[in-house]
Amino acid sequence: MKIRTKLFDVLFVISVFTVLIAVSSFVTLEIFHKMNSEKRYLNTLSSYFTSNLKYALSVFEKSLMNAVSDVDFYSLAMDDENMSTSTRAKLEKQISSFKSYFPYAEMFQVRYVEKTIFSYGTDKVSNVDDTIFYRSKAFILLNNSLYLVRNYKPNEDVEVLSLINFSRFVRDFFTNIVSDDNRGIMFSLGNMNIFSFKKGTETTTNDSFIFSDERMLYDVKIFAVVSIDMVYKSIRPILIFGALLLAALFLIVLILSRQLSKKLSLSFEIVSREIREHSRTSFKEIKNYDKYKDELKGFITSYNEIGQEHDNYVKETDRIVEEKTAQIYEQNELLMEISTTDALTGLHNRRHFDESFPKDFNIARREGFYINFAIVDIDNFKEINDKYGHLCGDACLRALAVMIRKCFQRSSDEFERFGGEEFTIYNVSKESDDFAKHLNLFRDEVAKMKVRCEKDNSSFVDVSFTISIGAVSFVPQYTDTFEKIIDKADTNLYIAKRTGKNRVILLA
């Protein structure tokens, strides 16, 4: 067995045993702390609830006394209907006002010598037995709701009884204090346990609760409770975390044990791998992972020096190649520009037109745009050449090119020297764009031009000329072709020449 394997076995067993003890202790302490925290919270909750309840009841009794202190109860018991009705209305008004700030009191009775002479709220609490109501001194259960019976005797003959909806009081208390439905209050009435939660009241003997310390109110034991299921749910993340932590630590121990056991052979493995993975275009320096000054370290140092020299040579070669490639690209761009530019006028030439116009025509046909296309021809250009010479003719062509640039400056405008004294102008747009009007303005500007030409060696002459334009402007259909556009414009140019020249003819 190799030393590396022996070291791995010993380290792994010791580490796993230590991790198990640590994680188990952690989970146990967390569960114990959670249970104690829940118990302390329940004690605080029950104490707070009981003190609030006692305070609320004391305020209720004092307020009730004040509300009925000036009521003439004897007039209610008398046979005088006028006095009884007046007193009853007064008492109902005071009780109604009292209920506005203590809405938990749902029923009131006034008894005179054990005879009910006034009732209020009986329509809200049904199935109430008068005898039970009168004789009860603490809590009763009505319609699945817990009620507290309180009585107040203004004198020996009169007794004022009230029925307080205790379940509603508990529900509102928990709505303001506790955010969940799993905590509540348990009232122990003899052998019966009544649980009151925010969601409602229920009678059960189920023991699946954790209880606070006991609190007393009259003849009732009060406990704050929480469902054991909720406590289990709160503990479940701790157990899950403990299991995940154990698995993670197990994996870490496994990795660390393997790494430590491989330490003696690490440098040899790295050198072997780096040499196998060495690339011609990228050199990666081999690091010396141990502290020993041995033959292996000398070999790594020599290898890194040679590799660095090789890497520098490759980088310099790549730099030269990139520079040469960029120069070739620039020269190709320049050649492309020269090949598509007319040397005389500086406009694009026929080659550029043949490449760009079919593409633009297809865009217009596909998108449903207008194609505005015109062929411009200098009138009587041969006479200018014959009379003033070809140099003057060239000057006229250059002047016309300048005027085209001046009159058609939008980014969508395209213009080329089509051949000889003919030029093309076109654009693609969503609308017809008054193309004929724009062409006529351009034609007028050309007619106003004066081109200075040398008549002989000592004199100059200003030459003017006109142009004829054949144009089309429409939305091409699927069956149309760009050749058809050129033919239509050329036909219109022919008409312009035949009908007197110096005009624009735009016909479909």
Tell me the C-alpha distance between 439 and 500, whole Å.
17
Q: CB of 196 within 8 A of CB of 169?
A: no
Q: Could you count the other beta carbons within 10 Å of the beta carbon of residue 478? A: 6
Q: CB of 469 within 8 A of CB of 503?
A: yes
Residue 393's nearest CA partner among 461, 442, 443, 453 is 453
Q: What is the pTM of this model?
A: 0.40
Q: What domains are there in the chain, each with its CATH number?
A: 3-232 (no CATH), 278-321 (no CATH), 350-506 (3.30.70.270)
What stretches of 136-290 adopt beta strand conformation (E)? 139-142, 145-152, 158-165, 183-189, 192-197, 200-203, 209-211, 215-217, 220-227
Tell me the pLDDT of the chain (508 aa) as tens digits. 455 566 566 667 787 778 778 878 877 887 777 778 877 877 887 787 778 777 777 777 777 777 676 676 766 666 556 656 777 777 777 777 777 767 777 777 777 776 777 777 755 554 555 544 444 456 777 766 777 777 777 777 777 777 787 777 777 776 776 666 667 777 776 666 666 665 555 555 555 777 778 777 766 777 777 766 666 677 777 778 778 877 887 778 777 776 666 665 555 556 666 666 665 556 666 666 556 565 666 667 777 777 777 777 777 878 888 888 777 777 777 666 677 899 899 999 999 999 999 999 999 999 999 999 999 999 999 999 999 899 999 999 999 999 999 999 998 899 999 989 999 999 999 887 789 999 999 999 999 999 999 877 778 899 999 999 999 999 999 899 999 999 999 999 999 999 999 999 998 6
